[in-house]
Amino acid sequence: MCGIIGYTGYREVSAVLIDGLKKLEYRGYDSAGVALQGSEKLVVTKTAGSVDGLKEMLINLADSHLAGIGHTRWATHGRPTEVNAHPHSSCCEDIALIHNGIIENHSSLKKWLSEEAGHVFRSDTDTEVLAHLIEEYYENDLLLAVRKAAAKVKGSYALVVLSAKEPGRMVCARQDSPLIIGLGERENFVASDIPALLAYTKDTIILEDGEFASITKNDVQLYNQEGNIIHKDVFKITWDVESAEKGGYEHFMLKEIMEQPVAVRETLRQRLDMETGEVTLDELDFNQEELANLEKIYILACGTAYHAGLVGKFILEKLAGIPVEVDVASEFRYRDPIINKNQLAIVISQSGETADTLAALRLVKSKGVKVLAITNVVGSSVSREADQVLYTWAGLEIAVASTKAYLSQLAALYLLSLYFADKRSGLANNLAHELAAGLVALPGQLKLLLNDDNLQEIKRYCEKLAKWDRAFFVGRNLDFPVAMEGALKLKEISYIHAEAYAAGELKHGPLALIEEGVPVIAIATQKHILEKTLSNVQEVKARGGDVFMITKKAFAESFKKGEACFYLPDSAEILMPVLSAVVTQLIAYYTAVIRGSSVDKPRNLAKSVTVE
Ligand code: G6P
């Protein structure tokens, strides 16, 4: 996730920028850069390395700067190289800017700017378009040029811009990406995150979507889209540095759970038309014949990504009619799989660096099978070695237990299923329409699901669960992978021995372990097997098992008043695994907190498993 810091004031500008960037390092980055403004020109320094490396590069620059901007980049468009690092400059190098977010219409803007207005581009980034666009509109008023450029742009941005012709002035804009102004005495700051400015000030102004700011060392002016001055309250930060990094949440895991509506929206953004539900995956280039001849798909992954694959099997088979086999990568690589060229391998990996997933990828490639990667990290080994890549754009995930990356993997798989279905047989079925409409509504539903009342309800249940050392998760059909993921989450962070079972399998063994009070979390969101799951639940209850149901509002009349049920918002049935997974994440989270375990860094586990 990219980080932004900007400063104008009496201190050594480069030192404040480096200090701010160091405070943003926890968010992860692959390259960094600053632009320093003297009285006549802008000097840009960038590196595909660390902030410490950048600091070394700045040592010999004389310090008589009036303002400066600094950025840590987490690659999205274009590889993590020096050229692609921010700040980006206009042709004449008298405008420099840093940007968080994605410019969705960058291709058409770039075409126009280069072919009709003669601008020369240097990088592969979407961001560079902004520098040229602002240059195009610049007539000695940076704010006006930024406003005009913003009006042309589609997408998300937190933007800080300098002009060599307006020394000591920073202009900022925000749309769907956070930007905070820090207020000081004879100095002012701007940053994407509170930790970057907390050492200097606790007085801030939170910029909202569609707002602009002009900042000098003695003045901060705020504007709306029409260019009228607006006034906003000063927000006093009461957090310490540690909680500021977590956005005020107690743990990164909770922060990441709460970020899921945004993470899923980012995965869908630009790929799903939010009005028509149409899916376009420009990054993929399967030809019609290839897809028509596709006999089978292997999904290969580890851990949580494997569970996303299990959901993927259901949806790909249902929508695209292609048989899918899902394998744990560490098993697949040693089992002599029967593979041929008319098959496709999909590898799923948040980090893109998991050793077994990478080995499985190399194995299928060596047999001539094409590989499509679903990953969150641009430039990762998996993304480099796969034939095609579908990025999840979930943003950096810090907690070891994966949450938002998992949901965005699911979102990518839904998109892929619609894409395959469309290419193979058209989308003339109700299921596809229902799914597309459901996806459009999904970010909003996730937001609704994460409301405070629901969090409290789940927390209350966890008070009871936390007293046990064992628990079961059960479900059938699409609910079964969710049960598996729920059990994994609970065991990895609360250390409760949690097992997932296909509900129909209970009587083949685990029922022997059910006695008075044993917690069983049952997931039932699929109408056609609701009665079957409910019979299994009865078997558990008859033996004293304590059942917590995760089900949907539409099924409410199947349950008696007073039964422990969590009702999910109704969505397309095929999409319910996204919603029910959130409840199981919260169950794991609150139970771990109540038990006092190390939520973000569970014992013996690592975020990225780069050894076999
Ligand atoms: C580790 C992490 C899990 C993750 C798994 C696969 O076990 O703790 O959260 O699901 O690796 O990682 P990947 O980066 O390949 O998705």
Assess contact for 162 and 97: CB atoms under 8 A. Answer: yes
Start-end of H helices in 426-529: 430-449, 452-465, 479-494
Other beta carbons less than 10 A from residue 307's beta carbon:
30
Phi, psi at residue 269, to the nearest 5°?
-55, 135
User: In which element (H, E) is residue 33 found?
Assistant: strand 31-37
Q: Is residue 584 in contact with ligand 1, taking CB distance under 6 Å?
A: no
Nearest ligand 1 atom to alpha carbon 375: 16
**pLDDT of the residue at 427:** 66
SS3 426: coil
Q: How far is the CA of 404 from the centre of ligand 1 (A)?
A: 12
Residue 610 has a pLDDT of 67
- Does the pLDDT of residue 534 top 90, yes or no? yes
Q: Which range is least confidently modeled, 23-37, 109-123, 425-439? A: 425-439
Looking at residues 98-119, what average pLDDT do you find? 93
Q: In which region does residue 495 sit, left (phi positive, over 0), alpha (psi from -120 to 50) or beta (all else)?
A: left
Q: Are 465 and 514 in contact (CB under 8 A)?
A: no
> What counts of helices (H) and strands (E) characterise the chain?
19, 25
Task: Find the 415 Cα to ligand 1 centroid distance in Å.
Answer: 22
pLDDT of amino acid 11: 95
What is the arithmetic mean of pLDDT over 290-300? Answer: 93
What angle do helix axes 51-58 and 13-23 make, rounded to 10 degrees? 170
Do the beta carbons of residue 172 and residue 188 sit within 8 Å? Answer: no
More confident residue, 310 or 292: 310
Per the CB < 8 A criterion, the answer to whether 324 and 316 are in contact is: yes
Q: Give one word for 143, left, alpha or beta, with left for phi > 0 and alpha for psi -120 to 50.
A: alpha
Q: Which two tokens stand for residue 563?
A: 């039964």
Of 326, 332, 381, 402, which is best to mutate to test ligand 1, by the most ligand atoms within 8 angstroms of its C-beta?
402
Residue of 336 and 171 predicted with greater confidence? 171
Q: What is the pLDDT of residue 384?
A: 87
The arithmetic mean of pLDDT across residues 18-28, rounded, is 86
Residues 180, 161, 2, 14: what is their CA dihedral angle, to the nearest 10 degrees? -90
- Using a 10 angstrom Cβ sphere, with 0-12 exposed, 13-18 middle and 19 or more buried, the burial of residue 328 is middle
Q: What's the confidence (pLDDT) of residue 413? A: 98
Give the whole-angstrom CA distance, residue 136 versus residue 81: 26
Mutational test site, ligand 1, from 327, 383, 608, max ligand atoms within 8 Å of CB? 608
Please count the residues of the chain. 612
Average the pLDDT over 35-47 and give the result: 93
Weakest mean pLDDT among 56-65, 120-129, 453-462, 469-478 = 56-65
Give the nearest ligand 1 atom to 301 CA: 15
- Among residues 67, 123, 121, 77, which one has the least CA distance to residue 100? 77
Query: Does pLDDT of 532 surpass 80?
Result: yes
Active-site annotation holds for 296: no
The arithmetic mean of pLDDT across residues 279-294, rounded, is 90
Q: Please give the structure tokens belonging to residue 54.
A: 């950048």
Ligand 1 pocket check for 300: Cβ under 6 Å: no
| Residue 453 CB burial class (10 angstroms; 0-12, 13-18, ≥19) | exposed
Ligand 1 mean position to 551 CA, how many Å?
A: 27
Contacts of 109 (CB under 8 A, 6+ apart): 103, 129, 133, 152, 153
Backbone angles phi, psi at 399, to 5 degrees: -60, 140
> Mean pLDDT for the chain?
92
* Residue of 302, 392, 601 best suited for mutating to test ligand 1, as the one with most atoms within 8 Å of CB: 302
Structural contact between residues 123 and 114, judged by C-beta atoms closer than 8 angstroms: no
Q: pLDDT > 70: what percent of the chain?
A: 99
Dump pLDDT digits (tens) for 358-377.
999 999 999 999 999 999 98
253 Cα: distance to centroid of ligand 1 (angstroms):
14
- pLDDT for 78 equals 80
The pLDDT score that the predictor gives to residue 75 is 81
Quick one: average pLDDT of 204-219?
Answer: 94
**Residue 172 bears catalytic tag:** no
Three-class SS state of 162: strand
Active-site option among 165, 296, 464, 607: 607
pLDDT in tens, 43-90: 999 999 899 999 999 987 777 789 999 999 988 778 889 999 999 999
Round to whole Å and give the CA distance between 65 and 40: 10
CA of 439 to the centre of ligand 1 (A): 25
Ligand 1 atom 8: residue of nearest CA: 607
Residue 401 CA, closest ligand 1 atom number: 9
Q: Look up residue 609 and give its two tokens.
A: 């498993």
Separation CA 579–CA 407 (nearest Å): 9
- For 55-106, give the DSSP string: HHHHTTS----SEEEEEEE--SSS-S-TTTSSPEE-TTS-EEEEEES-BTTH
CA dist list (Å): 535 to 259, 531, 556, 564, 569: 36, 6, 16, 16, 23
Q: Is the CB of 354 under 6 A from ligand 1?
A: yes
Q: How far, in Å, from the CA of 353 to the mean position of ligand 1?
A: 9
pLDDT score of 277 more than 70: yes
Q: Which of 44, 37, 6, 3 is nearest to 172 (CA)?
A: 6
In the prediction, which pLDDT does 612 show? 60
Is 402's C-beta closer than 6 angstroms to any atom of ligand 1? yes
Q: Whose CA is nearest to atom 15 of ligand 1?
A: 349
Which residues, including other chains, have CB under 8 Å from residue 285's CB and lie 6 or more apart? 388
Q: Which pLDDT band holds residue 508 (cuts at 50, 70, 90)?
A: very high
Q: Is ligand 1 within 6 A of the CB of residue 400? A: yes
Radius of gyration of the chain (CA): 26
pLDDT, tens only, 145-162:
999 999 999 988 999 999
| CB 601 less than 6 A from any atom of ligand 1 | no
What DSSP character marks residue 400? Answer: S
Instruction: Place 1 in a pLDDT band, splitting at 50, 70 and 90.
Output: low
User: Of these residues, 2, 172, 462, 565, which one is catalytic?
Assistant: 2
**Which pLDDT does position 238 carry in this prediction?**
73
CA distance 156 to 305: 27
Distance 283 CA to ligand 1 centre (A): 24
Q: How many CB atoms lie within 10 A of CB 176?
A: 17
Gap between the Cα atoms of 305 and 405, Å rounded: 9
Six token digits for residue 567: 């009702």
d(CA 311, CA 482): 8
Please confirm whether the linkage preceding 87 is cis (ω < 30° from 0). yes
Which pLDDT value is given to residue 611? 66
